[in-house]
Structure 1
Amino acid sequence: MKADVAVLGAGIVGVSVALHLQARGRSVVLFDRRGAGEETSYGNAGLIERASVTPYAFPRELSSMIRYSLNRSAEAHYHVSFLPKVAPWLAQYWWHSSPSRLALASKAMLPLIERSVVEHEALMAEAGIEPLLRKTGWIKAFRSERHFAHGVEEARKLDSYGIRFDVLDQGALLAREPHLKDVIIGGIHWLDPATVPDPGAVAKGYAELFVKRGGRFVHGDARTLSQDGGAWTLKGEDGPLEVRETVLALGPWADDVFRPLGYRIPLAVKRGYHMHYRAAGNAVLNHPVLDTDGGFVLAPMSRGIRLTTGAEFADRDAPPTPVQIERTEPAAREIFPLGARVDPEPWMGRRPCLPDMRPVIGPAARHPGLWFAFGHNHHGFTLGPVTGRLLAEMMTGERPFTDPKPYRADRF
């Protein structure tokens, strides 16, 4: 089997890259060990986060660092045995999270964030899955007046970016979310982001469009990638595959391929969990709600109310330890009437992250025909389509819609 390009990884980033290359006339094979959208792209809160102008930084307040170090926080959990391995990466993350460097990261990410919703809209229209898109934003909720006031102060700093939001006192918040309990005293409704009730279904919808347009989906192990002369070869379930170019869009598994090729990109993984619940009685949740004080998100999904956790620092392939679900479920029941669990056990996903809080998008330095698209730092679902567009423009010689230098692989 031969093609112009093999895209390794059928998560939201990979399927988006495949679609954009296909639209520009390339014959493309989508290559994955599983189906589309069945790994990291399945388990997020379903946000297309147009309002996240500032990346998720390492906390620098002493109180936060002490709280996290005690390993009792709902927002972050770590395996003690993993700390020596991840400590150098955490040190880089902390360094890049200084105010000046965080400002640089925000500036670098802004062109991608600004186009996150419109690029999803375009692909959803082509795939015929527009009903999955909800342009109703999400709500940041607060339990204390002090945290509420601080949250409003931070939100005001985004006025220069034109980000729209409503500040809601308790009465206004309950008008939008009548079944939230009065432990929540106010909130900020971010209006520009969009949401979906099933992010995995979005990735599958994009993959189905890719196949409908003549693309091929091949199952196989991406670690079989090798270069023979000017071609790249892979071993698929139905035989060998030969392509001129390869896109590495494997998210948290990208280092399984780039490290044997000699690249030392500091990719780390933040694990996370979710659990679905029935709503008790006639309760309805209209928007995803972040409980700022509780450190979790409740999101209305097709399968039920999805409780998503913060970050867990552990070896990528270590057995699941969903202690954050156990910690946050009682807190979630304090703010919304959750019923019984729907899932037999918590789902675990892996978020691919880089310490400077921006992805790698662009060519590999030492291997012509090898391209990278991974490391989106909590925003893979948000940035999948816009990443696909940018990389396809680079690969086909078009003028990129934004300068790709901030995402180059050789910056490390």
Structure 2
Amino acid sequence: MSRIVIIGGGIIGRAAAYRLQKSGHAVTLAAIPDLQPASWGNAGHIATEQITPLAHFSTMRRALTERFPAGPVAIDWQRPATLLPWSLRFMRACLPDQTARGDAALGRLMRHALPAWERLVTDLGAPDLLDRHGVVKLWEGPRARDVQLAAQSADHGTARVMPLFEAEFSAIRDRIAVPLDAGLRYQGTAHVTDPRRVLDTLLEAFLHAGGRSIEAEALSLQRRDSVICVETTRGAQEADHVVLACGVRSAKLVPFLRVPLIAERGYHIQWAHGGNWALPNLIFENRALVVTRFGTQLRATSFVEFTSPDSLPDPRKWLWLEDQVRRLGLPVASPFTRWHGARPTLPDYLPAIGPSRTMPGLHVAYGHNHLGLTLAAITAEMLADSVAGRAPMRAFSPDRFGRPLFRKMRKQCS
């Protein structure tokens, strides 16, 4: 049995804590409570169809042509020290040999995403946390049919794509106030039915299994003889293994690693639908807008905003979301609540999962970008393998971006 400290209390940190504790280890979860982490604030979608990393030159073109307010992309040009180094690495990741490796790696990983979630909710005794009814994507405009046909013939991994039955499409069009010209149903995907309950259930199950949780911020990591010392705001914690899973804050704890993370911020609004919503979860592709039902509530999410995690939110994004809700004619029976959160994104749009050679006993799980919820369950299983000495695929190695300059390494380790 190993002593393990997990740093980070989001969906990945909690899933890993539960999985490792159930594997027979003595696990301590160290995190400052966050009632609304990025995994809570997204669309709740288990996006098994998204098998291609966004590190492609086509993404770069879209980022330049679909900038807010004309599109969902926002780039904080006032922070060049954050943006420029990341952008240069992103462009390198877009080279053909790099994209081929990235596509293969993410496609392989995505095959395991939903089965891992099914195992997790079964182990938790809460299968109702996962809804497997899939999602409907909708298109507007004169090119909608062509785009639909292209989407239908594309590779979606384990997800199955099928045209909507006319009755189903008519039911959607009758409830939406803008003309809809095409739609597809994506089966083999899923969504969580209550993001807050998922987080709470994981923590409760972890504690019930004998895990330990402390409300503390990790300040530093240092290898001492055969153990890692985690200095926290509640004192030092010694461990045989440490799992670093604190999102965009991860980089500051491993200055001996190159961790080119950027905050890819998303926004949502949420409101009561008043019992007037019987449609499936919808993705309005032309608007880059996802509408998800969570019980009595609807949530609308959008935006890919590249910035620093400490920058102030942009209220115009919430106003845009509220305007879209009104334009679409969605039922609104309460005031809107607002959220924004920073998704940790690496330049190649692949997560870092597994052991680092720079510090024996250190395992990481960060950089999951918009797929954090989707990949949480399989990441937890991969971390259990990593602790057991079975390293994940090299494509996800935390060492793939190299190390800082030797002088920085020597200064840090002295």
Alignment TM-score, normalising by the size of structure 1: 0.89
Q: Is the 8 A contact 1:299 1:307 kept in 2?
A: yes
Q: Determine helix, strand or coil for the equivalent of 1:271.
A: strand
Distance 1:228 1:285, change over 3 A: farther
Distance 1:408 1:299, change over 3 A: same
The residue identity in structure 2 corresponding to 1:255 is A
| 1:100, distance to aligned residue in structure 2 (A) | 5.2
Distance 1:177 1:184, change over 3 A: closer
In 2, Cα distance between equivalents of 1:308 and 1:182? 18
Give the aligned partner of residue 250 of structure 1: 246
In 1, Cα distance between equivalents of 2:353 and 2:43? 24
After superposition, residues 101-120 of structure 1 pair within 5 angstroms as: 101-120=98-117
Distance 1:3 1:221, change over 3 A: farther
The answer to whether residue 363 in structure 2 is matched with residue 371 in structure 1 is: yes
Distance 1:314 1:275, change over 3 A: same
Q: Is the 8 A contact 2:74 2:304 kept in 1?
A: yes
After superposition, residues 172-187 of structure 1 pair within 5 angstroms as: 172-175=168-171, 179-187=175-183
More displaced 10-residue stretch of structure 1: 93-102 or 311-320 = 93-102
The answer to whether residue 88 in structure 2 is matched with residue 91 in structure 1 is: yes
1:214-272, Cα deviation, whole Å (9 max, x unpaired):
0011111112433333222335565432211111011111112112xx21121111011
Q: Determine helix, strand or coil for the equivalent of 1:7.
A: strand
Give the aligned partner of residue 10 of structure 1: 9
Alignment TM-score, normalising by the size of structure 2: 0.88
Q: Determine helix, strand or coil for the equivalent of 2:389.
A: coil
The answer to whether residue 223 in structure 2 is matched with residue 227 in structure 1 is: yes
In 2, Cα distance between equivalents of 1:359 and 1:352? 9
In 2, Cα distance between equivalents of 1:3 and 1:61? 43
Give the aligned partner of residue 388 of structure 2: 396
The answer to whether residue 215 in structure 2 is matched with residue 215 in structure 1 is: no
Give the aligned partner of residue 266 of structure 2: 272
Distance 1:63 1:49, change over 3 A: closer
In 2, Cα distance between equivalents of 1:351 and 1:61? 17
| 1:110, distance to aligned residue in structure 2 (A) | 1.9
In 2, Cα distance between equivalents of 1:353 and 1:312? 11
Give the aligned partner of residue 73 of structure 1: 70
Q: Give the RMSD, CA atoms, in angstroms.
A: 2.6
Distance 1:57 1:367, change over 3 A: closer
1:174-197, Cα deviation, whole Å (9 max, x unpaired):
346752335222211111111113
The residue identity in structure 1 corresponding to 2:366 is F
Structure 2: gaps spanning 5 or more residues:
402-414
1:151-204, Cα deviation, whole Å (9 max, x unpaired):
431331217x45311223775423467523352222111111111132232122
In 2, Cα distance between equivalents of 1:118 and 1:299? 22
In 2, Cα distance between equivalents of 1:63 and 1:4? 47
| 1:397, distance to aligned residue in structure 2 (A) | 3.1
Give the aligned partner of residue 206 of structure 1: 202
The residue identity in structure 1 corresponding to 2:289 is F
The residue identity in structure 2 corresponding to 1:330 is D
Give the aligned partner of residue 22 of structure 2: 23
More displaced 10-residue stretch of structure 1: 381-390 or 227-236 = 227-236
| 1:148, distance to aligned residue in structure 2 (A) | 3.9
Q: Is the 8 A contact 1:137 1:194 kept in 2?
A: yes
The answer to whether residue 157 in structure 2 is matched with residue 150 in structure 1 is: no
1:254-296, Cα deviation, whole Å (9 max, x unpaired):
112112xx211211110111110232x6531532211111121
Give the aligned partner of residue 411 of structure 2: none
In 2, Cα distance between equivalents of 1:9 and 1:139? 33
Give the aligned partner of residue 53 of structure 1: 51
Q: Is the 8 A contact 1:74 1:327 kept in 2?
A: no
| 1:376, distance to aligned residue in structure 2 (A) | 0.7
Aligned mate of 1:140, from 137, 145, 151:
137
In 2, Cα distance between equivalents of 1:380 and 1:223? 24
In 1, Cα distance between equivalents of 2:378 and 2:318? 32
Q: Is the 8 A contact 1:140 1:292 kept in 2?
A: yes
In 1, Cα distance between equivalents of 2:55 and 2:174? 33
Give the aligned partner of residue 405 of structure 2: none
Q: Is the 8 A contact 1:9 1:30 kept in 2?
A: yes
Give every structure 1 segment of 4 or more consecutive aligned residues whose post-TM-superposition deviation is greater than 4 Å. Answer: 235-239
Distance 1:147 1:195, change over 3 A: same
The residue identity in structure 1 corresponding to 2:210 is G
Q: Determine helix, strand or coil for the equivalent of 1:81.
A: coil
Q: Determine helix, strand or coil for the equivalent of 1:60.
A: helix
Distance 1:168 1:58, change over 3 A: same
| 1:74, distance to aligned residue in structure 2 (A) | 3.5
